[in-house]
Amino acid sequence: MLDASHAVIGASLAKLVPNPVLGLPLALGLHFVGDLVPHWDLRTRHVKRSKLTTIALSLTDAGIGYALGWWLFNQTVPWPYLALMMFISQLPDWIEAPYHIFDWKFPPFSSIKHLQSRLHRKLDLPWGLIWQGLIVLLFIVISL
Ligand SMILES: [Zn+2]
């Protein structure tokens, strides 16, 4: 999934599950579940781009998620928990990033990369974005 989607799902979870002991592992687990849903994303693993472009796109993607999550839930969730939940929701992708950016092809970067490559279900535009958007919207609606 886009990291924006992961972040908004994490922000919704922060509202739904105020207890961090439950919320944090759930946010991490839902990252992998989210990636199982056929989705479109920036295809960091497959498309040939310059590393700088990849970094810029990924940070924009993640940043949009943080902004949206903050905008939707900053009135109802304490901000440290909100920020942490959004970060944990994206964590596997952050751990994978050095594999692509610095060519750190050793654990844990390579392990998480291989795990995520196996879990991801891709779906092209437009449906890969429509389904993803609907799932994110469902989380928002349930948690608001
Ligand atoms: Zn992922």
- In terms of phi and psi (left: phi > 0; alpha: psi -120 to 50; beta: otherwise), the region of 19 is beta
For residue 79, is it within any domain? yes
Ligand 1 mean position to 1 CA, how many Å? 6
Ligand 1 mean position to 142 CA, how many Å? 23
For residue 96, is it within any domain? no
| pLDDT for the residue 62 | 96
d(CA 59, CA 110): 20
- Going by C-alpha positions, the residue among 130, 128, 138, 131 that lies closest to residue 12 is 138
| pLDDT for the residue 42 | 82
* Cβ atoms 132, 2 nearer than 8 A: yes
Ligand 1 mean position to 113 CA, how many Å? 9
Helices and strands of the chain, counted as H and E runs: 6, 0
For residue 26, is it within any domain? yes
| pLDDT for the residue 45 | 55
| Domain around 38 | 3-89+121-143
Domain count for the chain: 1
Q: Which residue reads 């594999």 in tokens?
A: 99
Ligand 1 mean position to 88 CA, how many Å? 11
Ligand 1 mean position to 31 CA, how many Å? 6
For residue 136, is it within any domain? yes
For residue 100, is it within any domain? no
CA 46 to chain centre: 18
| pLDDT for the residue 123 | 87
For residue 109, is it within any domain? no
Ligand 1 mean position to 72 CA, how many Å? 23
| pLDDT for the residue 6 | 97
* Cβ atoms 109, 99 nearer than 8 A: yes
Ligand 1 mean position to 93 CA, how many Å? 5
Instruction: Please count the CA atoms within 13 angstroms of the CA of 75 that sit on its side-chain side.
Output: 4
Task: List the chain pLDDT tens, one digit each, 144 residues.
Answer: 999 999 999 999 999 999 999 999 999 999 999 999 989 888 755 677 888 998 999 999 999 999 999 999 999 999 999 999 999 999 999 999 999 899 999 999 999 999 999 988 888 889 989 999 999 999 999 999
| pLDDT for the residue 71 | 98
Question: Which residues are in the CB-under-5-Å shell of ion ligand 1?
Answer: 35, 92-93, 116
